[in-house]
Amino acid sequence: QVQLVDSGGGLVQAGGSLRLSCAASGRTFSSYAMGWFRQAPGKEREFVVAIRWSGGTTYYADSMKGRLTIARDNAWKTAYLQMNSLKPEDTAVYYCAAARGTWNSDNYYYASTYNYWGQGTQVTVSS
């Protein structure tokens, strides 16, 4: 079993930055992929970014490409998401997720691909 803990959200002005963290515990992560989704009020959960733990293959949502940097710390089993140039439309609850099975260019953006989820952290960007 895997447990994920989200942290790092908060309130920031437009143009500002935030760094989210996702701490994992439980089974080994070498074959997993990890990433973030977000969900704004009244909207469906949408893909933001994900990375394969071993090898580093990374996918970004077009809406945030160029404003994100994802990194992983193997020793602490923690993933980090640096978000820059934030916009009011980035306001949402951000959820960390991990996938243990097949993860590739055809399925990385589906929430159903991910087996484990964090509790979410609120990101609010004021205009």
**pLDDT tens-digit profile, the chain (127 residues):** 889 999 999 999 999 999 999 999 887 666 789 999 999 999 999 999 999 988 889 999 998 989 999 998 877 789 999 999 999 999 999 999 999 988 999 999 999 999 999 999 999 999 9
**What pLDDT score does 29 carry?**
67
**What pLDDT score does 121 carry?**
98
Comparing CA positions, the residue from 32, 6, 12 lying closest to residue 88 is 12
Please count the other Cβ atoms lying within 10 Å of the Cβ belonging to residue 123: 21
